Amino acid sequence: MSTETEDGHDDHGHHLPAVEDWPQGFGEASWWPFVTALGAAGIYAGVALWIIGDAISPLAGPAAVAGSVGLFLVGIYGWLYHAFITKFWSRETSEHGHASLRWGMIAFLGSELATFGALFSYYFYFRAGSAWTLPETTPDLISSLILANTAILIASSFTLHWAHVALRNDDRTNFLRGMGLTILFAVVFLGGQAFEYFEFIGEYGFTWTQGVYSSAFFGLTGLHGLHVGLGAAILGIVFVRALYGQYSADRHLSVSTASMYWHFVDAVWIFLVVVLYVGAGQA
């Protein structure tokens, strides 16, 4: 039985297409999570092709990984744009929407925890084996660079918390300062990680093809770096909105959810440093 909307149009009992989303879905449906998942799955397939590349083509694996990473980033962009910009750019949502977004972020962080947990489980499995060794090219893992980078990332959690508290106290100036410092620390951290990669590969010849540890090192630190970059992008969106004065003591939903994500990323890094840097150095 068809129904008629308030403007007089008959929708035949179906929800109208989600015109703000692409590809279009129906009602609240969105294809962006599917696109993101497809890109993530393609990365794993590309790595497999990379490993057996000689049997197919040396370029098949790298090309598949590059294309999958691109698809994954496009999916993430569309997903974030749909969740954080189109619906929440000019206004906050209802109380039901508040709960939905918070629980959505909690569910997302749960999936992220499962991803990192699975990778660490594989690492611990091989780490416990009798054949476990570190590559001969393994550099000094506990360096001033890693200590400084860790301190910077931990400091970013404090500056973000400071910014959030300032916002709840209607202190817009310190809110903007805290957000700006947090984003700056994120960029510096990523620069430090890139420099570490450059030094490890170029100076020591330590690459991801030299055994379980090197693969785990670059895989886990690289995955975390991707999350830091994603977090920096989310905080950048929040910062731009803050410059437009779209937050207040009673209106800071996306600041809260972005903070949840950033503190999670920081906690994962601390665990990663303890396991991959300090723990491996005791081998």
What value does the mean pLDDT take over residues 205-209?
A: 85
pLDDT > 90: percent of the chain: 30
What value does the mean pLDDT take over residues 257-275?
A: 93
Tens of pLDDT, residue by residue over 54-93, are 566 767 777 887 888 888 888 877 776 766 566 554 454 4
Asked if the peptide bond before residue 33 counts as cis, ω within 30 degrees of 0, the response is: no
Higher-pLDDT residue of 77 and 19 is 77
Tens of pLDDT, residue by residue over 28-44, are 456 777 787 888 788 77
SS3 label, residue 189: helix
Q: Quote the CA–CA distance of 192 and 30 in Å, as a whole number.
A: 36
What value does the mean pLDDT take over residues 152-170?
A: 95
Higher-pLDDT residue of 268 and 126 is 268
Strand partners, 149: none
| 142 phi and psi angles, rounded to 5 deg | -95, 90
pLDDT of residue 10: 46
pLDDT > 70: percent of the chain: 76
Judge whether residue 175 has pLDDT over 90. yes
Q: Quote the CA–CA distance of 227 and 115 in Å, as a whole number.
A: 12
Q: Quote the CA–CA distance of 164 and 174 in Å, as a whole number.
A: 9
pLDDT of residue 49: 74
Higher-pLDDT residue of 31 and 52 is 31
Residue 57, sorted as left (phi over 0), alpha (psi -120 to 50) or beta, turns out to be: beta
Judge whether residue 168 has pLDDT over 80. yes
Tell me if the pTM is above 0.85: no
| 16 phi and psi angles, rounded to 5 deg | -75, 155
Q: Which residues are CB-contacts of 269 (< 8 A; sequence separation ≥ 6)?
A: 150, 153, 224, 228
SS3 label, residue 10: strand
**pLDDT interval class at 18 (50, 70, 90):** very low
pLDDT of residue 13: 44
Q: What is the DSSP letter of 134?
A: -
Write out the two tokens for 240. 């731009």
Higher-pLDDT residue of 89 and 103 is 103
Q: Which residues are CB-contacts of 273 (< 8 A; sequence separation ≥ 6)?
A: 146, 150
DSSP 53-78: HHHH-TTHHHHHHHHHHHHHHHHHHH
Write out the two tokens for 273. 């440093």
Worst-scoring range by mean pLDDT, 32-41, 112-121, 158-167, 258-267?
32-41
pLDDT of residue 211: 80
